[in-house]
Amino acid sequence: MDKLKRVDIIFGAYTAEKYKVLEATMKKSSEEIIEEMIESGLKGRGGAGFLTGLKWKFTAGEADPERYVVCNADEGEPGTFKDREILTTVPRKVFSGMAICAKAIGAKKGFMYLRGEYRYLLPDLHKELDIFNEHLKRFGLDFDVEIRMGSGAYICGEESALFESIEGKRGEPRNKPPYPTVAGVFSKPTVINNVETFVNAMMIMKYGAHEFKKLGTDDSRGSKLFSVSGDTPKPGIYELELGMTVEDFVNEFGDGDTKAVQVGGAAGFCVPRKKFKDTIIGFEGVPTGGSMMIFNSSRSMYNVLHNYIDFFEEESCGQCTPCRVGCQQLMKGIEAVKRGEKQSGYLKQLLNLSDTMKITSKCGLGQSVANSFSSIVENFKEEMIY
Amino acid sequence: MTETIQLIKSLADKHGRKRDALMPIMQAVVESESYLSDIAMTEIAKELDIATAEVYGTATFYSFLDTVPRGKYVIRVCKTITCDMHGKKRIVETIEKLLKIKLGETTQDKKFSLLYTNCIGWCHQGPAILINTTPYGDLDEEKITEIIMEYMRK
């Protein structure tokens, strides 16, 4: 573990007094909070990596006084399970982060959108909410958090689809712009952040932007939770400093026979062994919401890709043609090549199709199918054919 | 039938009759009746004053909002990559043998349904399943047999 710096910020123990950090933050002005958030360089932990402080600033600057804070707890990316662990062990930090955001942007209402698969967490979350509400009263902050459940749709992790779902509709992504900071849930200015991002916001208030910035690299500040699974002797959740190479990661978590690492889930990139050394995990290399799936040489990368496409085909909302039909055609295509019905050159056509999906799909789902598709097909071509 | 109507009325009283109450109401109906019947969807539409097609269209978008009858215990086996790699197929076969049904089916006594689902967030403990809302991980033939037997006795 010499090259990987393990940190213990997110799962660190609660303060002795409940909601102590939140109480201290209540004394700061909205401007001070936002300034500190921008200064920290924190980027969203859901995967897309937008600067959190800016998101808050834009929303705070909107004219409409009715604003919302939304916590995206629709953790559906294959290989990701860190938000579940956060919500299980330190939910207080998440609610604190949401309240800090509410104070910063002047929101009176917040939603936590929890995926249906995590329904079992609801009773404990409600218990914590009761304690949270008591303390808010004490601080004099007029802010109310409501938990809304998802019902088994991956696409609802896409922010605008999530808003649609809260509004009681099919989880179909909206056109952007307008962005959530202008028109989010109920078409009102909204800050939507990942579970881990809210915890980070609370940590920045606790330790200060200066301390937070000491961790990570210029492009990837702070620590990050990694969900490690697949062919590894120690699957689980680890908080690590950003900016390590895939090689560092594999040396620590691989089983000695690692062939490839899928960074960022099915929507992310597959890194083959020959690129371990030169690939940095972070926004300057391959970004990740935390999903790290390890494959050893006993695995067929054709089966891995087949599994991903099957996933996307089912989870595509079906609204736009490139994604709906594209996923189906990619599936048919790789199956035909594998059966020998199509020449290996057909893979080139499929790669073109995935590129087209990247340019023409309406939301991140269809746009990111090409990530895993091209990184697997190009690096493991033989396995696709034979 | 009157029970369903009563249930939906009380849910609308609790969650309100605006459009954004639709998901919580449908979720609660599925929790108590295992699925959304035509009667339930029509009744929800009436309460919220929207078209039945809107209710049906929304329900069918979400994989956990079933519109066909399911068993009292819905078993969802994760089929996404790490659970797939770690033997989800053996788990499905074991359950099929125990319950004498195939994937996608419901037992005659309406007690169990067996379905596949996409990633449930237990990749580090695959293969994993959900039985209604309860997750179970690190499964093998022996462990899943024990779990299912326990539900059979319930």
- Write down all domains in chain A, each with its CATH number in brackets: 15-212 (3.40.50.11540), 223-296 (3.10.20.600), 301-384 (1.20.1440.230)
Question: Once rounded to an integer, what is the mean pLDDT over residues B102-125?
Answer: 97
> Same structural domain for residues B56 and B83?
no
Q: Do A153 and B62 touch (CB under 8 A)?
A: yes
Residues facing residue A261 across a β-bridge: A271, A294
Q: Would you list which residues of chain B are within 8 Å, Cβ to Cβ, of chain A?
A: 18-24, 26-27, 57-58, 61-65, 79-82, 84-85, 117-126, 130, 133-135
Single-letter amino acid, residue A269: F
Q: What is the pLDDT of residue B152?
A: 97
In this complex, which of A120, A151, A170 lies closest to B27 when CB atoms are compared? A151
Question: Once rounded to an integer, what is the mean pLDDT over residues B4-27?
Answer: 98
Domain containing B45: what range?
2-61
Q: Give the CA angle between residues A108, B55, B70 to the nearest 5°.
A: 110
Q: What is the pLDDT of residue A216?
A: 79
Residues of chain B with pLDDT > 70: what percent? 99
Q: Residue A233 in contact with residue A255, Cβ under 8 Å?
A: yes
Both tokens assigned to A68: 């919302």
> Same structural domain for residues B79 and B123?
yes
> What is the full DSSP assignment across chain B?
-HHHHHHHHHHHHHH-SSGGGHHHHHHHHHHHHSS--HHHHHHHHHHHTS-HHHHHHHHTTSTTS-SS---SEEEEEE-SHHHHHTTHHHHHHHHHHHHT--TT-B-TTS-EEEEEES--S-GGG-S-EEETTEEE-S--HHHHHHHHHHHHH-
Q: Which helix (H) or strand (E) holds A272?
A: strand A269-272
Q: Do A148 and B23 touch (CB under 8 A)?
A: yes
Collapse the DSSP code of A57 into the 3-class scheme (helix H, G, I; strand E, B; otherwise coil) and give the result.
helix
Write out chain A residues lying below 8 Å of B58, CB-based.
Answer: 168-170
> Same structural domain for residues B89 and B138?
yes
Q: Which helix (H) or strand (E) holds A97?
A: helix A91-105
Residue A148: phi, psi to the nearest 5?
-110, 140
Q: What is the pLDDT of residue A161?
A: 98
Please indicate, yes or no, if residue B97 is contained in any of the structural domains. yes
Q: Which chain B residue lies closest to A265 (C-alpha atoms)?
A: B81
> Same structural domain for residues B128 and B89?
yes
Cα separation, A163 vs A154, in Å, equals 14
Cα separation, A290 vs A224, in Å, equals 7
Phi-psi region of A192 (alpha: psi -120 to 50; beta: other; left: phi over 0): beta
Q: What is the pLDDT of residue A3?
A: 59
Q: What is the pLDDT of residue A1?
A: 44
Please indicate, yes or no, if residue B122 is contained in any of the structural domains. yes
Q: Do B121 and A228 touch (CB under 8 A)?
A: no
Please indicate, yes or no, if residue B57 is contained in any of the structural domains. yes
Write out chain A residues lying below 8 Å of B63, CB-based.
Answer: 151-153
Q: For residue A280, how many C-alpha atoms fall within 13 Å in the half-sphere facing its CB?
A: 12
Single-letter amino acid, residue A157: G
Q: Do A170 and B23 touch (CB under 8 A)?
A: no
Phi-psi region of A12 (alpha: psi -120 to 50; beta: other; left: phi over 0): beta
Q: What is the pLDDT of residue A274?
A: 96
> Same structural domain for residues B79 and B143?
yes
Please indicate, yes or no, if residue B66 is contained in any of the structural domains. no
In this complex, which of A167, A266, A311 lies closest to B20 when CB atoms are compared? A167
End of a domain among B61, B83, B99?
A: B61
> Same structural domain for residues B132 and B80?
yes
Q: Which chain B residue lies closest to A156 (C-alpha atoms)?
A: B62
> Same structural domain for residues B54 and B90?
no
> Same structural domain for residues B111 and B149?
yes
Q: What is the pLDDT of residue A64?
A: 97
Q: Residue A67 in contact with residue A106, Cβ under 8 Å?
A: yes
Q: Do A169 and B58 touch (CB under 8 A)?
A: yes
Q: For residue B65, how many C-alpha atoms fall within 13 Å in the half-sphere facing its CB?
A: 30
> Same structural domain for residues B90 and B114?
yes
Q: Domain of B77: which CATH number?
A: 3.40.30.10
Write out chain A residues lying below 8 Å of B22, CB-based.
Answer: 168-169
Both tokens assigned to B29: 């109906």
Interface with chain B: mutation pick from A87, A112, A119, highest number of B CBs within 10 Å: A119
In this complex, which of B81, B118, B124 lies closest to A236 when CB atoms are compared? B124
Q: Max alpha carbon distance in chain B (Å)?
A: 50
Both tokens assigned to A328: 């189906």
Write out chain A residues lying below 8 Å of B84, CB-based.
Answer: 303, 307
Domain count of the fold of chain B: 2
Cα separation, A243 vs A158, in Å, equals 26
> Same structural domain for residues B12 and B37?
yes
Q: Over its length of 386 residues, how does chain A's per-residue pLDDT go in tens digits?
A: 455 777 888 998 898 999 999 999 999 999 999 999 999 999 998 777 899 999 999 999 999 999 999 999 999 999 999 999 999 999 999 999 999 999 999 999 999 999 999 999 999 999 999 999 999 999 999 999 999 999 999 999 999 999 999 999 999 999 999 999 999 999 999 999 999 999 999 999 999 999 988 887 777 788 889 999 999 999 999 999 888 999 999 999 999 999 999 999 999 999 999 999 999 998 888 888 899 999 999 999 999 999 999 999 999 999 999 999 999 999 999 999 999 999 999 999 999 999 999 999 999 999 999 999 999 999 999 999 99
- Taking the complete model, does pTM exceed 0.90, yes or no? yes
> Same structural domain for residues B91 and B149?
yes
Q: What is the pLDDT of residue A83?
A: 96
Side by side, the strands of the sheet bearing B73-78 are B112-117, B73-78, B129-131, B134-136
Residues facing residue A68 across a β-bridge: A109, A190
Cα separation, A101 vs A363, in Å, equals 26
The C-alpha of A285 sits at a distance from chain B's nearest C-alpha, in angstroms, of: 24
Single-letter amino acid, residue A162: L
Please indicate, yes or no, if residue B67 is contained in any of the structural domains. no
In this complex, which of B20, B117, B118 lies closest to A166 when CB atoms are compared? B20
Q: Do B62 and A118 touch (CB under 8 A)?
A: no
> Same structural domain for residues B108 and B141?
yes
Q: Residue A226 in contact with residue A290, Cβ under 8 Å?
A: yes
Please indicate, yes or no, if residue B68 is contained in any of the structural domains. no
